[in-house]
Amino acid sequence: MARKQRTPRWLEAARRRGAEDLQPSGKPDWLARALGKAGVMPRAQAEAAIREGRVTLDGRVEREPFAPVRAGVEVRVDGQMRSLDAPVWALMLHKPAGRVVHGSDAEGVGTVFEWLRERLTPALLGYEWLAVGRLDRDTTGLLLFTNDERLVRHGTSPERHLAKRYVAAVEGTPDEAALRRLREGLVLEDGPTRPAGARLRAPDVVELTLTEGRHHQVKRMLAAVGHPVRTLHREAVGGVTLDIPEGTWRRLEDDEVARGLGFAPG
Ligand code: URA
Q: Which atom of ligand 1 is nearest to the CA of 210?
A: 8
Is the minimum distance from the CB of 219 to ligand 1 under 6 angstroms? yes
Q: Return the residue whose CA atom lies nearest to atom 2 of ligand 1.
A: 216
Question: pLDDT tens digit string along 32-80?
Answer: 999 999 999 999 999 999 999 999 999 999 999 999 998 889 999 999 9
Q: Does ligand 1 have an atom closer than 6 angstroms to the CB of 218? A: yes
pLDDT-above-90 percentage for the chain? 79
Across 219-225, average pLDDT: 98
229 three-state secondary structure: strand
Lowest-pLDDT choice from 103-112, 126-135, 148-157, 188-197: 103-112
Ligand 1 centroid to Cα of residue 131, in Å, is: 15
pTM of the model: 0.87
In which band, very low, low, confident or very high, does the pLDDT at 7 lie, cut at 50, 70 and 90?
A: low
Phi, psi of 162 (to 5 degrees): -65, 125
Confidence band of 110 (pLDDT split at 50, 70, 90): confident
Residue 19 has pLDDT above 70, yes or no: no
Check pLDDT > 60 for residue 251.
yes
Phi, psi of 231 (to 5 degrees): -140, 150
15 pLDDT tier (thresholds 50, 70, 90): low
Q: What are phi and psi of 146, to 5 degrees?
A: -150, 165
pLDDT higher than 80, residue 9: no
pLDDT band at 27 (very low <50, low <70, confident <90, very high): low
- Write the residue with the smallest CA distance to atom 7 of ligand 1: 135
Angle made by CA atoms 256, 84, 57, in degrees to the nearest 5: 165
Residues 74, 69: Cα–Cα separation, whole Å = 10
Do residues 100 and 60 make contact, with C-beta atoms less than 8 angstroms apart? Answer: no
How much is the average pLDDT of 171-190?
97
Q: What is the pLDDT of residue 23?
A: 45
Q: Mutate which of 162, 166, 242 to test ligand 1's pocket (most atoms within 8 Å of Cβ)?
A: 166
pLDDT at site 22: 41
Q: Tell me the CA–centroid distance for residue 117 and ligand 1, in Å.
A: 23
- Residue whose Cα lies nearest atom 3 of ligand 1: it is 216
Residue 135 CB less than 6 A away from ligand 1: yes
Contact in structure between 146 and 90 (CB atoms under 8 Å): yes
On the question of pLDDT at 2 being above 50, the answer is no
- 131: β partners: 145
> Regarding predicted confidence, which is higher, 103 or 70?
70
Instruction: Tell me what percent of the chain is helix, strand and coil, each rounded to the nearest 5.
Output: 25, 25, 50
Q: How confident is the model at residue 188 (pLDDT cuts 50, 70, 90)?
A: very high
Q: What is the mean pLDDT of residues 142-151?
A: 95
168 lines ligand 1 (CB under 6 A): no
pLDDT for res 1: 40
In order of their start, the domains of the chain are 9-81 (3.10.290.10), 90-158+240-260 (3.30.70.580), 164-237 (3.30.70.1560)
pLDDT over 90 at 20, yes or no: no
Asked if residue 217 has its Cβ within 6 Å of ligand 1, the reply is yes
Q: How much is the pLDDT for 222?
A: 98
Q: Which residues are catalytic?
A: 136
pLDDT of residue 51: 98
Average pLDDT value for residue range 147-174? 94
Please state the atom number of ligand 1 nearest to the C-alpha of residue 135. 6
Average pLDDT across the chain, whole number: 90
